[in-house]
Structure 1
């Protein structure tokens, strides 16, 4: 129970900071991340087990990847590209299970969810560094 509370606290902290101080890119990445996290809840409910490919979660993750990629290719900042890269690593866990269907369920779940924390930290640190060095976008 403590992990979900910590995850949501970190999500709210980092995404709020990114949305308030990160300009257009921060708002877009924060919205995409929060939408993905919220949509993952019903997707995980639809998923009976992590012993096979979690198709509902994979679909949500793919949509998040497309959104993050779209932001990363239209910005002059480095941190959206890093957020996209970390999410791409998370997506490879789904592909690994497609290739090796006997992948351990706990490892699969861990790899699919682990990269959310570095993504959130990159949002926080990236926006803070942009502010420190006076990098702005054109809202």
Structure 2
């Protein structure tokens, strides 16, 4: 049985979330994608933006920085919850972008199961593919938020 330890020490959190250029790029892209959604988006855009920000922060809290190989159970669970939120938005809204976001994030979540089946997937391939799907999910939110900004506020 695997246990997930959560270290909420602010120094550890800062090191885990902001210790590389890639992580800074991730938070900048998240902020750029979430800003239009929060500013002028409807309930689908705002819900997805809040869920993505929460997932990003939660992943930083549960990620085991000492574990270099194998499955990160905590991150996988957070990704599955985010996938469920995106699927619920896609099924209940009249927008097209949540379908794309769900598909991209679903592929990213599927990577966790690939690592579960074969630990050799872990490494550069896992990192690059996971990053690609994450940025494509953010791009779908950004396009949805920008598209919503061009319409009058209705919901």
Q: TM-score, normalised by structure 1?
A: 0.86
Partner of 1:22: 41
- Once residues 109 and 123 of structure 1 are traced to their aligned partners in structure 2, the CA distance between those partners, rounded to angstroms, is 21
- CA–CA distance in structure 1, aligned partners of residues 152 and 133 of structure 2: 26
Distance 1:77 1:90, change over 3 A: same
Change (3 A) 1:50 1:60: farther
Bigger drift between 118-127 and 56-65 goes to 118-127
Shift of 1:77: 0.3
Structure 2 gaps of 5+ residues are 1-19
For structure 1, the 5+ residue unaligned runs are none
Conserved? CA contact 2:45–2:144, under 8 Å: no
> How many Å apart are 1:22 and its aligned residue?
1.5
Q: Distance in 2 between matches of 1:57 and 1:28?
A: 20
Residue aligning to 1:58:
76
Q: 1:123 aligns with which of 113, 120, 141?
A: 141
Residues 42, 148 of structure 2: 8 Å contact kept:
no
Equivalenced residues, count: 136
Over 6 Å off, 4+ runs: none
Deviation of 1:135 (Å): 7.9
1 CA distance for matches of 2:59 and 2:117?
23
2:35 is aligned with 1:37: no
Give the secondary structure class of the aligned counterpart of 1:108.
Answer: helix
What TM-score do you get using the length of structure 2 for normalisation? 0.78
Q: In the aligned structure 1, how far is the partner of 2:142 from the partner of 2:57?
A: 20
Task: Report the Cα offset of residue 123 of structure 1.
Answer: 1.2
